[in-house]
């Protein structure tokens, strides 16, 4: 059983930063995961934006996320992933989901079907 728990969403002004957190809870704790962040607005498909492998911190970004979004591994908690979002824009407002997959490899990183385990999502609202 694997649990994915997101936190850190909220309501911010345009131009502000926000950090989302995703913790993967599995057994044994030593297992590594490919962890992806997705976002979705009503009426649109879920969009992959960034992915990281907890085993080595290798991170991949979609072009639209490069420069403003940074994904990293927590310094202390191995299976906690942080998504730092800077200079937020109203168009960044969405439900943000974290997802995990025990299989490694840079394939379909931004495709929802790649991931087996999903969190409930955390809402990000950006006002202009």
pLDDT in tens, 67-106: 999 999 998 887 999 999 999 999 999 999 999 999 989 9
C-alpha R_g of the chain: 14
Whole-Å CA distances, 39 to 36, 77, 94, 97: 10, 24, 6, 6
- Cα separation, 47 vs 83, in Å, equals 15
What is the reported pLDDT for 76? 87
pLDDT band (50, 70, 90) for residue 45: very high
For residue 7, is pLDDT > 90? Answer: yes
Cα–Cα–Cα angle for 58, 86, 38, rounded to 5 degrees: 55
């Amino acid at each position: 059983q694997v649990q994915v728990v997101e936190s850190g969403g909220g309501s911010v002004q345009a131009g502000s930063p926000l950090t989302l957190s995703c913790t993967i809870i599995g057994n044994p704790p030593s297992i590594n995961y490919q962890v992806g962040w997705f976002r979705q607005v009503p009426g649109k498909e879920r969009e992959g934006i960034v992915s990281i492998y907890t085993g080595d911190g290798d991170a991949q970004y979609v072009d639209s996320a490069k420069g403003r979004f940074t994904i990293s591994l927590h310094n202390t908690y191995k299976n906690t992933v942080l998504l730092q979002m800077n200079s937020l824009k109203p168009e960044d407002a969405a439900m943000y989901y974290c997802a995990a997959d025990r299989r490694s490899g840079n394939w379909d990183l931004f495709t929802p079907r790649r991931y087996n385990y999903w969190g409930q999502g955390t809402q990000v609202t950006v006002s202009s």
